[in-house]
Amino acid sequence: MGKQNIEYQPIVKPSRYRPFDMTILSTKYQKWTAVLGLLFLITYFFQDFLYDKFWVSYVIPFFIFAISFLIVFFIGLWKGDRGVIKVLISVLVIIGVTELFKSEIFKSKILLTADLKDDLSNINLILRKNHTFEIRSTTISREKRFSGKYKIDNNKIIFLARPYDSDFIPDTLTIYQDKLILKFNKGEPVLDYATYFDIKQNHLTDGL
C-alpha cells in the first residue's frame, strides 16, 4: 500500500480578545463595564432619593461610577474588546427610554401651572387634563414631589389626595383673577407675600 499524504494543519491559538465577538460579558472588560454601568444606573434611578438624603453630596458616587464606567470602557476598546460597545449602548438605551417616558410626550396635557415663591423656596403646581396634579417643592437643600387626583368645582380646585406634607397648602384652592388663593380672612383673599400661587398659564376652561 502506498503511503498516504497527511497534511498537518498548524494549531492556531485563539487570541485573548476577539475584536468582532460581540457576546456580552465574555471578557473581564465587558464584565467590569457592565458592573460599573449597573452601579451608575442605580445612582441615576435613585438620584431624587439620594439628593433628599445627602443633598449635593449625592453627585460624588454618581460621578465616580460614571467616570469609572467610561475609563474601563475606553480601556476595553484600546485592548481591542469591541464587546464593551454593546454594554455602553445598553446603558444609553436604558437612560434614553427612561428620559423619554419622563418627558411630556407621554403625559396628559397641562391645563394650569402656578408658582408660589419666597426667598428660600419655590412651590410649583401643575394640573393636567386627566385630573392629576403635580406639586414640586424646592428649597436650597432638598426637593419634594407630591401627586394625586383633583377636581374642579366652579372656581375651586379640590385636591382628592394630600397635596403637601403640612397644612400650608390646603385641600382646596380658589382661583381669583391670576392667582390661586390659599386662605381667606373675613371673606377676603389673603394676598400677603408668599401666601398665594401666581398662575403662569390657565387652560382649565379649554380642557375641562
pLDDT in tens, 3-46: 555 555 555 454 454 444 445 577 898 999 999 999 999 988 88
Residues with pLDDT less than 70, the chain: 1-24, 56, 141, 206-208
> Rounded to whole angstroms, how far apart are CA atoms 125 and 147?
10
| Contact yes or no for 173/197 (Cβ under 8 A) | yes
Q: Which residues of 171-182 are buried (b: 16+ CB within 10 A; e: fewer)?
A: eebbbeeebbbb
Q: What angle do CA 114, 46, 95 make, to 5 degrees?
A: 90
Sign of the CA dihedral 134, 135, 139, 143?
negative
**What pLDDT digit, counting tens, does each position of 1-15 carry?**
555 555 555 554 544
